[in-house]
Amino acid sequence: MTSKGHFIVIEGLEGAGKSTALHTIKRLLGDHVPEIITTREPGGTRVGEVARHLIKEPTPDEILDARAELLLLYASRVQLVEQVIKPALARGCWVIGDRFELSTWAYQGGGRKLDREMIGHLSSFCLQNFKPDLTIFLDISPELGLKRALKRGKADRIEQESLNFFQNVYRSYHEQLKKMNNVAIIDASLPLPAVQNTIRQVLNAYLSAV
Ligand code: T5A
């Protein structure tokens, strides 16, 4: 195995089990790699956490424009990549991310229907082709994902969107996944032990290849 850091991202709809998977991955990788950090998007820096609050908090008195939402997400992402992820990778640390840019293609491209060419320009400007080494997509239907997510309590601003919004997000995820390399798609509707077992197999295959 090389001594360079690796960036693994977990993606999927609300309630897909990303946070749960993040802990599983951290535990499984713990014996194999020198240092691991976890990140979440939006968030993970001072700027990012403010953006997270603005994006997730419902604001009945002011509608957050979809373009403002997009820009907040990229502001958060630039800070996270430059201040946290790249320095960690440079010292050989493995970074496990709860969401990254694929979420923007799915939610802002598919859900909000923002111009994909503009998202592409923002992506190039902000990230300069910086990509995860591996993306693990937890595949769950919007119906089941939302049911799991909403069991925990009150819906945030995005969770208050319609089922149709999340169906568009889901479709967009799959359109993007077809264009990507280094992706593992896991059936997240299965019981947790089965999901964890597949994650273990994916990581073992990845570790033996790097
Ligand atoms: N967003 C984000 C955008 O619109 N564009 C972007 O570019 C980015 C980066 C972030 C929000 O921002 C949006 C998307 C989001 O709306 P968030 O809180 O970070 O919000 O992300 P959520 O997806 O909302 O997080 P959730 O906590 O809802 O989902 P998780 O992390 O996927 O699910 P998790 O692990 O918390 O599990 C949910 C519940 O299911 C259970 C867990 O125990 C938990 O109770 N569970 C299972 N139950 C049965 N079987 C399994 N296999 C299970 N796995 C987990």
3-state class of 72 per DSSP?
Answer: helix
What is the CA(185)–ligand 1 centre distance, in A?
16
Query: Are 143 and 149 a contacting pair, CB within 8 Å?
Result: no
| pLDDT over threshold 90, residue 127 | yes
For 152-202, what is each residue's pLDDT tens digit?
Answer: 888 999 999 999 999 999 999 999 999 999 999 999 999 999 999 999 999
pLDDT tens per residue, range 56-71 = 999 889 999 999 999 9
* Beta carbons of 156 and 69 less than 8 angstroms apart: no
Task: Indicate yes or no: pTM above 0.95.
Answer: yes
Write out residues with Cβ below 6 Å of ligand 1. 12, 14-20, 40-42, 55, 73, 99, 103-104, 107-108, 148-149, 152, 158, 188, 191-192, 195
**Pocket probe mutation, ligand 1, options 20, 22, 81, max atoms within 8 Å of Cβ:** 20
Q: Which helix (H) or strand (E) holds 116?
A: helix 116-127
For residue 47, the CA-to-ligand 1 centroid distance in Å is 21
CA dist 184 and 166 (Å) reads 21
Contacts of 23 (CB under 8 A, 6+ apart): none
Q: Given this model, what pLDDT does residue 3 score?
A: 77
CA distance 61 to 47: 23
Element containing residue 117 per DSSP (H, E):
helix 116-127
